[in-house]
Amino acid sequence: MTMDFDEIIDRQHTNAENTDGFRGYLFRDRPGLELPWRDEDLIRMWVADMEFGVAPVILDAIRARLDRRILGYTGIYDDRYFDAFRAWCRRHYDWELPREQICLSPGVVPALFLLTGLICEPEDAVLINTPAYCQFRRAAEYAERTLHCSPLTRSETGEFVVDYADFEARCADPRCKLVIWCNPHNPTGRVWRESELRRVAEIVERYGLWVISDEIHCDLLRQGQRHIPLGKVMPDYPKLITCMAPSKTFNLAGLGMSNVIIRDEALRKRYGSRDGIFGSVNPLSLAGVEAAYEQGEAWLEELRVYLDGNFRLLADFLAAELPEAEMYPAQATYLAWVRLGDCLPDVEDLSFFFAEKAGVLLEAGDGLFVGNARGYVRLNLAMPRALLQQGLERIRNAIRAHRAQTQNA
């Protein structure tokens, strides 16, 4: 290990959503919420960014760009960035991308919002699998389109899987125009097998639907896992859009730069004619992201080892301390999807419960994950191990105290 992922870095007063934005996101229905904890004492296991410092190679590249001193508009992009990203996809996914299909956006979410409106007419519906990243629902809401949901189900081995009969029935609905597919899946952490992707692809193709494959988590795999871009399974399907980004992989969400790979030329043109609302790419972002794709591999490898250790810590902790908790072993992402329904059957709002009783911020339930999420919490494990240990102990203590209280009542 050359990186110190154990270092605790102070994020207060950096305008971070993570430290200062939780009231608006997690508790918007509780205006003026006061918690019995100081904000700086909360353990934050919610929004999907990491408590780790950015890789030095990326910081160095940003500093070098700063030294050029002029930070005017960008907009004219030479090949360097695109070559770096294409080489990354080739090395990691054996996936060859034509340069002209790669569009940029300040984030995957803005691209989803824009594309949903471009692809779907007002009477069309968008299909997602639940539980889901809640911005998928917001993409439909933003574009004023209808949302349809196909719940994932559990296989005999406990794995989250597509309910193909339900999924196909919803794809066959004539109103359905677009599938937003999450690959790997947030919040369950599933890495879809090739056979699963093939079945989904066959259904999508059978009904001629558009599909956006959100692959933002694809680089954050457990050791031994392999990501397959949907684009490799649907090599010639024109109605596929793939979103990939350095934001999760390298903890660069604030740099606001993502890749949107649009195959269909007409859609690409329409996207290009509307993406003016995004403005031009921040020159510091461009420098940082270029360096990430060119030189970030070693850092990422170390990060993955550390994250695997955090997942082991969580699994061991739950087995020893909270055996009623059911943890699904995430194959990707730094997010653990844990069912606490049997630990706290009488608690409706688990996010609020843990914020108030444990001083731990986490996302939970149907409100934040669209549906099919009752009794589940999502724990962001991308933090120094000592903090994680502390957070888990607080979670355990709050559950035990609540049980003791309800048993005595």
Query: Tokens in use for 220?
Result: 């954050």
Q: Would you say 182 and 149 are in contact if contact means Cβ atoms under 8 Å apart? A: no
Among residues 89 and 347, whose Cβ is nearest to ligand PLP? 89
Among residues 321 and 366, whose Cβ is nearest to ligand PLP? 366
Position of minimal CB gap to ligand PLP: 107
| Region of residue 13 (phi > 0: left; psi between -120 and 50: alpha; otherwise: beta) | left
Q: Least distance to ligand PLP from the beta carbon of 208, Å?
A: 25
Q: Would you say 186 and 217 are in contact if contact means Cβ atoms under 8 Å apart? A: yes
Using CB under 6 A as the binding rule, the residues of this chain from 207 to 226 that contact ligand PLP are: 214, 216
Using CB under 6 A as the binding rule, the residues of this chain from 47 to 66 that contact ligand PLP are: 48
Among residues 241 and 344, whose Cβ is nearest to ligand PLP? 241
Using CA atoms, how far residue 383 sits from 8, 182, 379, in Å, is: 8, 24, 11
With tokens 């990186």, the residue in question is: 3
Burial of 339 (0-12, 13-18, 19+ CB in 10 A): middle
Q: Decide: is 133 part of the binding site for ligand PLP (CB under 6 A).
A: yes
Q: How far apart are CA 243 and CA 245, in angstroms?
A: 7
Q: Least distance to ligand PLP from the beta carbon of 399, Å?
A: 26
Using CB under 6 A as the binding rule, the residues of this chain from 256 to 295 that contact ligand PLP are: 258
Q: How far apart are CA 377 and CA 46, in angstroms?
A: 10
Among residues 89 and 134, whose Cβ is nearest to ligand PLP? 134
Q: Least distance to ligand PLP from the beta carbon of 225, Å?
A: 17
Q: Least distance to ligand PLP from the beta carbon of 188, Å?
A: 11
Using CB under 6 A as the binding rule, the residues of this chain from 223 to 262 that contact ligand PLP are: 245, 247, 253, 258
Q: Decide: is 201 part of the binding site for ligand PLP (CB under 6 A).
A: no
Pure H helices in 186-325: 194-206, 230-233, 246-249, 265-274, 283-295, 297-321
Q: How far apart are CA 223 and CA 330, in angstroms?
A: 11
Q: Least distance to ligand PLP from the beta carbon of 15, Å?
A: 15
Among residues 244 and 322, whose Cβ is nearest to ligand PLP? 244
Binding mask 86-115 for ligand PLP (x = CB under 6 A): ---------------------xxx------
Q: Decide: is 182 part of the binding site for ligand PLP (CB under 6 A).
A: yes
Binding mask 139-178 for ligand PLP (x = CB under 6 A): ----------------------------------------
Q: How far apart are CA 209 and CA 65, in angstroms?
A: 43
Q: Would you say 43 and 394 are in contact if contact means Cβ atoms under 8 Å apart? A: yes
With tokens 């471009």, the residue in question is: 118
Residues contributing to the site for ligand PLP (CB under 6 A): 48, 107-109, 133, 182, 186, 214, 216, 245, 247, 253, 258
